[in-house]
Amino acid sequence: MLILLPPSETKRPGGTGAPLRLDALALPTLAAPRTAVIDALVALAADEDAAARVLKLSERQRGEIADNAALRTAPGMPAVDRYTGVLFDALDAATLDGTARRWLGAHVLIHSAPFGPVAALDRIPPYRLAAGVSLPGLAPLRRHWAGAVTEALAAAAPRFVLDLRSEAYAALGPVPAGVPTAYLRVVTEGADGTARALNHFNKHAKGDLVRTLAHARPRIASAAGFVKWATDAGLTVRPGAPGELDLVV
Relative orientation angle of helices 141-156 and 31-45, to the nearest 10 degrees: 150
Burial class of residue 77, CB neighbours in 10 A (0-12, 13-18, 19+)? buried
The neighbouring-strand residues paired with 181 are 161
Give pLDDT, residue 226: 98
Give pLDDT, residue 14: 93
Give pLDDT, residue 189: 77
Q: Average pLDDT, stretch 52-79?
A: 96
Q: Is the pLDDT of residue 100 over 90?
A: yes
Give pLDDT, residue 17: 82
- Residue 88 and residue 7: Cα distance in Å, rounded? 9
- Number of residues that this document lists for the chain: 249
Residues with Cβ within 8 Å of 176's Cβ and at least 6 positions away in sequence, in order, are 150, 151, 153, 154
Structure confidence by residue, pLDDT tens digits, 163-214: 999 999 999 999 999 999 999 999 987 666 666 776 668 999 999 999 999 9
Q: Average pLDDT, stretch 55-66?
A: 95
Give pLDDT, residue 201: 85
Structure confidence by residue, pLDDT tens digits, 25-36: 999 999 999 999
Q: Please count the CA atoms within 13 angstroms of the CA of 35 that sit on its side-chain side.
A: 8
Q: Average pLDDT, stretch 131-138?
A: 95
Mean pLDDT for the chain overall: 95
